[in-house]
Amino acid sequence: RLHLVTWNVGTASPPPDVTSLLQLNSLGPPMDMYVIGLQEVNSRITNFLSDLAFDDPWSTFFMTVLSPLGYIKLSSIRMQGLLLLIFVKHVHLPFIQGIHTHYTRTGLYGYWGNKGGVSIRMSLYGHTICFMNCHLPAHMENTEQRLDDFEKILEMQFEGENIPSPLDHDVLFWFGDLNFRIADYGIHFVRESINNKRYNLLWEKDQLNMAKKTEAFLKEFIEGPLQFKPTYKFDLYSDVYDTSEKKRKPAWTDRILWRVKSLCQDASEEGELSEEGQTISVTLNNYVSHMSYGISDHKPVTGTFGLELKPLLSVPLVMLNPEGEWSAERDVIIRYSAVPEFPSSAWDWIGLFKVSFRHVNDYVTYAWVEDDEISSNKDSKQVYMSAAEIPNMGEFLLCYYSNNLQSIVGISEPFQIQPSRTSVEKDLTQEENSWMQKPDNLES
């Protein structure tokens, strides 16, 4: 279950609440992955430089919302105003590998990053998936420029050996402020059609729909029906279309499309691959806009998908667990075992994380698997952590980080660290002292 968001936030700060945007109150099972693509994140140069050193406010905001619900920030990439964030449930971490990011500037002939695309790719249960967040050129007359820029973004290559290009991934999601407009019709006809919910009258003049009929590289992309109002351009904090002097014509600028490689092969090989042979399929469950958000002149759009995968990777590369009862009173032991083909490294480490950790560097402490090893046999190895580094109490989990694969390849079940005797005694003493210091005129 994948929930994908695209939103041009118009340099605004995060809103007070994103419960409906992320469908956190939906009755169905929780999402496995959130993919959040933003455009026009505040990118004044001072903001951009500080955001490179620290998480930007939007990343921090979504981490604060999602980490208590058991999601960690898997990866992110920022290029000026373009930001792409991916959050995933803990349980899937050992089955996600080969994470790479890339950005492509197209503004000012490729020298300026105000327009372009940011991408994150990965292997999910052995299947390759790429997410591409784009902000393409604005204005009615720039259709060809939009198409040229998207072709350029599609041609980009991720750095590293044996990493496929975007179109060679099993699934490619393309989304963002694509800036395609509604051609030919005047503003009064467009607004009247919207008021009467006759969106179908406008679909055939949507520039992206028209381009999909003529441009070969677009024909394989699929999009759900546009059964929501055009998402641009609104007065701030309202659902009223542009009342400024410019009176921009409404348009479906904010879109989510996808492409399944095996479906394209099926078409080219005239059905040689049967439906039964599919190892991955994508189903769109919901494609909607969210009219209640008014911080920018765009409304956010979300797509909720079901990804059905035949797992090509079904066993974690590393299994690990804490040995015995853990407390801060003594050194503790971690036992782990790896599959025979696991490419271990001297730079691998095991981190101790709070259950609500935000990202891979949000550890409490860690141990190097080689330097801190205390025993080894053909079945498993043991690593120690110093008592001085162990927190007093709480719920935690262990993660094995592979330097070669640049990802978490093993995760333990959550476990409790017991309070140490000294901390319990200290708490009792403090409670006793506070009770003794109560004023005489207060009842205990």
The sheet carrying 373-376 orders its strands as 318-323, 332-338, 381-385, 373-376
Q: Give the domain CATH number at 284.
A: 3.60.10.10
* Nearest partner of 293 among 238, 228, 226, judged by Cα: 238
Where the chain has pLDDT below 50, the residues are 51, 110, 271-276, 439-444
Predicted confidence at residue 267, as pLDDT, reads 62
CA count, 13 A, side-chain hemisphere, 316: 21
Number of helical H runs and strand E runs in the chain: 8, 22
- CA-CA distance, 264 to 228, in Å (whole number)? 28
The answer to the question of residue 424 being in a domain is no
> Does residue 437 lie in a domain region?
no
Residues 273 and 161 in one domain: yes
58 and 200 in a single domain? The answer is yes
- Sheet of 82-89: strands edge to edge? 71-79, 82-89, 33-39, 2-8, 301-309, 280-289
Q: Do residues 87 and 69 touch, judged by C-beta distance below 8 A?
A: no
Q: Within this chain, do residues 295 and 328 fall inside the same structural domain, yes or no?
A: no
Cα–Cα distance for residue pair 279/259, rounded to 1 Å = 14
Residue 97: both structure tokens together: 């590998």
One domain for residues 261 and 387: no
Q: Specify whether the CB–CB gap between 57 and 14 falls below 8 A.
A: yes
Same domain for 391 and 259, yes or no, is: no
Residue 440: inside a domain, yes or no?
A: no
Of 265, 176, 165, the residue nearest 223 (C-alpha)? 176
- Model pLDDT for residues 281-317, shown as the tens digit of each residue: 999 999 999 999 999 999 999 999 999 999 998 999 9
Same domain, 178 and 273: yes
Q: Are residues 373 and 404 in the same domain?
A: yes
**Measured distance CA(186)–CA(141) in Å, rounded:** 15
Residue 13: DSSP 8-state: P
Instruction: Please report the pLDDT score of residue 443 as a whole number.
Output: 43
- State the Cα torsion 109-111-115-116 to the nearest 10°: 90
356 and 303, same domain (yes or no): no
Helices (H), 137-221: 143-154, 187-195, 200-203, 207-214
Structural domain that includes position 239: 2-309
Residue 432 lies inside a defined structural domain of this protein:
no
**Is residue 436 in some structural domain?**
no
Name beta bridge partners: 71: 89
pLDDT reported for residue 277: 55
Q: Are residues 136 and 62 in the same domain?
A: yes
Q: What is the pLDDT of residue 101?
A: 95
In a domain, 430, yes or no: no
Strands (E), 11-91: 33-39, 71-79, 82-89
Please tell me whether residues 180 and 281 are part of one structural domain: yes
Phi-psi region of 389 (alpha: psi -120 to 50; beta: other; left: phi over 0): alpha
Classify residue 151: in a domain, yes or no.
yes
Q: How far apart are CA 1 and CA 275, in angstroms?
A: 21
What's the total number of domains in the chain? 2
Q: Which among 309, 341, 374 is the end of a domain? A: 309
Q: What pLDDT score does 431 carry?
A: 55
Q: Kindly tell me the sign of the dihedral angle through the C-alpha atoms of 148, 154, 155, 159.
A: positive
| Paired tokens of 117 | 């695309």
Give the model's pLDDT for residue 27.
Answer: 85
The helix/strand/coil state of 398 is strand
Inside any domain, residue 231: yes
What is the pTM assigned to this prediction?
Answer: 0.90
Residues 334 and 299 in one domain: no
> Which of these three, 309, 334, 361, is where a domain ends?
309
Query: What pLDDT shows up at residue 26?
Result: 87
Does one domain contain both 53 and 14? yes
326 touches 413 (CB < 8 A): no
Contact between 121 and 128 under an 8 Å Cβ cutoff? The reply is yes
**pLDDT value at residue 428:** 53
Q: What is the CATH number of the domain that holds 376?
A: 2.60.40.2840
Containing H/E element for 434? Answer: helix 421-436
- pLDDT for res 441: 43
Grouping H, G, I as helix, E, B as strand and the rest as coil, residue 209 is helix
